[in-house]
Amino acid sequence: MSDIITLKFSVTGITCEACLKLIKRRVEKVEGFLDLNISLSGDATIIANRPVELDEITKALEGTEYQIVN
């Protein structure tokens, strides 16, 4: 069984539940993705079966108004 890795970060630009759904749809395409917990305040935790870099999440959100901050 693989190790479970968590990465905490923040996302700016979130204004509603639809924002959360779009972010989750984009981030779930990151290799190794298992789950994403994200709140309207922008606090987020990705759960993956491998280490995920913030750059990968940033790339997944390209073309949106959402920005990763740490």
Q: Angle at the Cα of 50 (from 46 to 55), degrees rounded to 5?
A: 60
Using CA atoms, how far apart are residues 22 and 4, in angstroms rounded to an integer? Answer: 24
The amino acid at residue 49 is: N
The answer to the question of residue 33 being in a domain is: yes
CA atoms within 13 A on the CB side of 67: 4
- Asked if pLDDT for residue 2 goes beyond 70, the answer is no
Q: Check which CATH number belongs to the domain holding 28 and give it.
A: 3.30.70.100
Decide if 57 is inside a domain.
Answer: no
Total count of domains within the chain: 1
The parent domain of residue 44 ranges over 1-49
- Is 55 a member of any domain? no
Cβ contact 52:32 at 8 Å: yes
Q: Is residue 10 situated within a structural domain?
A: yes
Give residue-wise pLDDT tens across range 9-56. Answer: 999 999 999 999 999 999 999 999 999 999 999 999 999 999 999 999
pTM: 0.91
In a domain, 59, yes or no: no
